[in-house]
């Protein structure tokens, strides 16, 4: 009974609510108060998708699962739409619910109606979608960049609008400096944002791609990728400097070589400890040296 009552409350007829309001396009128009903030069942065919939607990929299996839930329980959370000319609308948020509803053949969908100009529409759509946790890093970065470019926001203002630290906003925006192939790899889930951030300071595109291929080939972690980038920047892995061989070792080493009948080598570390390396060239040679040690 509770479900039926809720559905009935959300199902108020569009014609009743929108009577004499087809020409409303701003909050100052007559009868705008009857329209704004109202939740009504809207014909899905009267709704156009949001051109500012930052999400470019919708998982088909997840959509089918959502569609199954909607078929069973209905659309629990209404979508948000912007009123256009006449009785047409444009999505602000809720495209997954909208797509899933169409997937099961629903003719109407509960919607919360707003009035907005293009700039407000863009900001609402982008900020709304940025808050969602399932956007990939590049989708978030592109949304941030679009807010900066189209709304003329500074990074500081943007961080306030989206409720994120400025450093977080900056880290996302820097991902857009990466080669498009790496950006695609992040969008497809082959590498993480951490991998991408590790490669940001690699200016040469060929070096970026070489590291990317190595990450995929050897399944490198973010930490391993950071180390790889450091090696590239410093010209290679750091080599441990060997301690200078003392004169007494140099003088006596030829005697050791003569004893074993092989040229031996001696190395010493910074801790003062050393190693004598005795090479052998065959099984017989190994046992010959072993016999000398007995």
DSSP 44-94: GGGEEPPTT-------HHHHHHHHHHHHHH--SS-EEEEE-STT-EEEEE-
pLDDT at 161 over 90: no
Q: What CATH architecture applies to the domain 144-234?
A: Orthogonal Bundle (1.10)
- Tell me how far apart the alpha carbons of residues 140 and 147 are, in angstroms, rounded to a whole number: 11
Q: Which residue has the tokens 């900001």?
A: 123
- Tell me how far apart the alpha carbons of residues 199 and 283 are, in angstroms, rounded to a whole number: 49
Among 20-24, 48-52, 113-117, where is mean pLDDT lowest? 20-24
Most confident by average pLDDT, 116-125, 146-155, 198-207: 198-207
- Tell me how far apart the alpha carbons of residues 195 and 223 are, in angstroms, rounded to a whole number: 8
Domain ranges of the chain: 2-117, 144-234, 247-293
235: left (phi over 0), alpha (psi -120 to 50) or beta: left
Closest to 131 (Cα-Cα) out of 175, 157, 96, 93: 93
* Whether this model's pTM surpasses 0.75: no
Query: Residue 25 — very low, low, confident or very high, per pLDDT cuts 50/70/90?
Result: low
Q: pLDDT digit string (tens) for 97-135?
A: 899 999 999 999 988 887 766 666 667 767 766 766 567
Most confident by average pLDDT, 102-116, 212-226, 242-256: 212-226
- Tell me how far apart the alpha carbons of residues 158 and 179 are, in angstroms, rounded to a whole number: 25
pLDDT at 10 over 50: no
Summary count for the chain: helices (H), strands (E): 15, 7
Enter the tokens of residue 89. Answer: 């609308």
- Residues counted in the chain: 294
Q: Does the annotation count 203 as an active-site position?
A: no
pLDDT at 191: 93
Alpha carbons within 13 A on the beta-carbon side of 122: 14
Query: Residue 54 — very low, low, confident or very high, per pLDDT cuts 50/70/90?
Result: low
Residues 115 and 83 sit within 8 Å (Cβ to Cβ): yes
Among 88-92, 114-118, 153-157, 240-244, where is mean pLDDT lowest? 240-244
- Tell me how far apart the alpha carbons of residues 276 and 55 are, in angstroms, rounded to a whole number: 63
pLDDT at 3: 41
- Tell me how far apart the alpha carbons of residues 252 and 272 are, in angstroms, rounded to a whole number: 17
Enter the tokens of residue 111. Answer: 């919607």
DSSP string, 155-192: HHHHHHHHT--HHHHHHHHHGGGS-HHHHHHHHTTSS-
Q: Which residue has the higher pLDDT, 82 or 173?
A: 173
| Average pLDDT of every residue of the chain | 78
Alpha carbons within 13 A on the beta-carbon side of 123: 15
pLDDT at 106: 93
Most confident by average pLDDT, 9-23, 32-46, 142-156, 182-196: 182-196
Q: What is the mean pLDDT of the segment spanning 78-84? A: 83
Given 60, 61, 95, 139, which residue is catalytic? 95
Q: Which CATH class is domain 2-117?
A: alpha beta
Start-to-end CA span in the chain (Å)? 95
Collapsed DSSP state (helix, strand, coil) of residue 108: strand
Among 59-63, 197-201, 216-220, where is mean pLDDT lowest? 59-63
Enter the tokens of residue 216. Answer: 């995929």
pLDDT at 138 over 70: yes
Residue 28's CB is within 10 A of a number of other CB atoms, namely 8
pLDDT at 7: 40
Q: What is the mean pLDDT of the segment spanning 53-72? A: 79
Q: Which residue has the higher pLDDT, 157 or 33?
A: 157
Q: What is the mean pLDDT of the segment spanning 1-14? A: 41
């Amino acid at each position: 009974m509770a479900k039926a009552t809720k559905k009935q409350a959300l199902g108020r007829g569009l014609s009743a609510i929108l009577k004499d309001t087809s020409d409303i396009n701003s909050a100052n128009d007559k009868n705008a108060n009857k329209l704004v903030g109202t939740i009504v069942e809207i014909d899905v065919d009267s709704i156009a998708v949001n051109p500012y939607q930052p999400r470019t990929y919708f998982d088909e299996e997840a959509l089918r699962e959502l569609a199954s839930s909607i078929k069973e329980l209905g659309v629990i959370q209404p979508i948000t739409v912007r009123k256009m000319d006449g009785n047409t609308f444009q999505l602000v948020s809720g495209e997954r619910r909208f797509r899933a509803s169409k997937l099961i053949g629903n003719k109407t969908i509960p919607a919360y109606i707003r009035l907005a100009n293009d700039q407000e529409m863009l900001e609402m759509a982008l900020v709304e979608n940025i808050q969602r946790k399932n956007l990939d890093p590049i989708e978030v970065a592109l949304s941030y960049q679009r807010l900066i470019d189209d709304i003329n926001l500074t990074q500081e203002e943007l961080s306030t609008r989206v409720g994120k630290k400025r450093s977080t906003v900056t880290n996302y925006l820097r991902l857009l400096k990466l080669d498009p192939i790496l950006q695609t790899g992040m969008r497809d889930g082959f590498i993480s944002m951490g991998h991408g951030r590790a490669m940001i300071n690699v200016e040469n595109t060929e070096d970026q791609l070489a590291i990317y291929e190595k990450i995929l080939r050897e399944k490198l972690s973010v930490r391993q990728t950071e180390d790889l980038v450091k090696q590239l920047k410093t010209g290679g892995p750091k080599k441990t400097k060997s301690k200078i061989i003392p004169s007494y070792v140099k003088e006596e080493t030829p005697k050791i070589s003569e004893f074993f009948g092989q040229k031996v080598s001696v190395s010493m570390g910074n801790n003062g400890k050393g190693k004598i390396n005795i090479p052998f060239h065959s099984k017989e040679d190994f046992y010959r040296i072993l016999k000398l040690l007995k």
